[in-house]
């Protein structure tokens, strides 16, 4: 892996994009109410009642986005070297392929055993958009 090829400004942009996509996707006027019920929560449950605390939750979310963005960049660069260069389109395709090959199936397995298929569809949709956008940013910003 060539971490020397990582554009750190693109990584920061990817993390910010991930946060914006997640905020819009799971906003109170978009999919949050449907997702909240799909994971077995009721209207009376407080989203801020986390066993690890909201500060740690958000810290881990940002850290996870950072790790995803770094490895997306490395993967986009690797594929670009194989195919003759990177671009917004090739980066978006790399994001889609990572989502299709790894994220969607592994998260589906978890949700099937938890009997939460509707929650999976909402979560996987968010990951799909996030991975395609991250890949596009990594591919375009070389």
pLDDT digits (tens, 9 = 90+) for 72-96: 999 999 988 888 889 999 999 999 9
The percent of residues in the chain predicted with pLDDT above 90, rounded, is 77
Q: What is the residue range of 116's domain?
A: 3-140
Q: Which has the minimum average pLDDT: 20-24, 50-54, 71-75? A: 50-54
Q: Which has the minimum average pLDDT: 14-18, 46-50, 62-66, 128-132? A: 46-50
Q: To the nearest 10°, report the CA torsion of 95, 92, 112, 53.
A: 70
Q: Which residue bears the tokens 């997702």?
A: 35
| Residue 1, pLDDT score | 65
| Residue 44, pLDDT score | 80
Taking CA atoms, 108 is separated from 37, 99, 116, 119, in Å, by: 18, 12, 9, 10
User: Domain tally for the chain?
Assistant: 1
Phi and psi at 86, nearest 5°, equal -105, 155
């Amino acid at each position: 892996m060539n971490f020397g090829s990582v554009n750190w400004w693109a990584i920061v942009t990817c993390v910010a994009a991930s946060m914006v996509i997640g905020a819009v996707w799971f906003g109170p006027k978009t999919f949050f109410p449907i997702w909240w019920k799909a994971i077995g929560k009721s209207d009376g449950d407080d989203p801020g009642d986390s066993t690890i605390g909201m500060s740690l939750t958000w810290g881990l979310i940002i850290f996870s986005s950072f790790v995803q963005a770094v490895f997306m960049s490395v993967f986009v660069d690797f594929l670009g070297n194989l195919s003759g260069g990177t671009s917004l389109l090739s980066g978006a395709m790399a994001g889609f392929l990572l989502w299709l090959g790894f994220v969607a199936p592994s998260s589906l397995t978890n949700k099937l055993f938890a009997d939460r298929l509707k929650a999976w569809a909402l979560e996987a949709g968010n990951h799909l958009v996030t991975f395609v956008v991250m890949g596009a940013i990594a591919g375009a910003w070389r």
